[in-house]
Amino acid sequence: MEVHSQNVYRSVLTTLRLPQGISLVPLSQLAVAFSQMVSGLRNEGAPAEQQEAFQAAVADAVNSAPHLTSDERSAVKDTVFTAFDGVPRKHVVKAVRADFLRQVTFRRSAGRFGSSYGASPVRTRL
């Protein structure tokens, strides 16, 4: 089933009014956002491969964010992964700069998963 990852992502960011600039955002707020994104993807029937691609798209944005420290990168990625697999992870960081949120790029698939991570980039900007 085709699920538009970008729509799920943008909808949650808008609903929760998450900042997407240099503002700090608590990891607890990101955890709520990522959990809602997971629910949205699963409720719409996104296959496991697309959910993994969604995680990879967020992780890529986090890895390329110039203002995040190594600890902050790890904490955000752990927060994303926990939202998807339910396995709690510990980290020392409590808040991170939110500018990476506007850098998440979903790719249109040449295959069967709609907006999953694949062929051509689709920038998510609000």
The domain in which residue 25 lies consists of: 5-115
Domain count for the chain, please give it: 1
Is 33 among the domain residues?
A: yes
| pLDDT tens digits for range 56-78 | 999 999 999 999 999 999 999 99
Is 121 among the domain residues?
A: no
Is 101 among the domain residues?
A: yes
pLDDT of 121 strictly over 70: no
Average pLDDT over residues 93-119: 71
pLDDT of 116 strictly over 60: no
Is 125 among the domain residues?
A: no
| pLDDT tens digits for range 17-59 | 998 888 999 999 999 999 999 999 999 999 999 999 999 999 9
The pLDDT > 90 percentage for the chain reads 76
CB 100 within 8 A of CB 65: yes
Is 15 among the domain residues?
A: yes
Is 58 among the domain residues?
A: yes
Is 123 among the domain residues?
A: no
Is 60 among the domain residues?
A: yes
Distance CA 118, CA 37 (A): 19
Q: What is the DSSP string of the chain?
A: ----HHHHHHHHHHHHT---SS-EEEHHHHHHHHHHHHHHHHHTT--HHHHHHHHHHHHHHHHH-TT--HHHHHHHHHHHHHHHH------S--EEEGGGGGG-EEEE-SSSSTTSSSSEEEE---
Assessment of whether the complete model's pTM goes beyond 0.85:
no
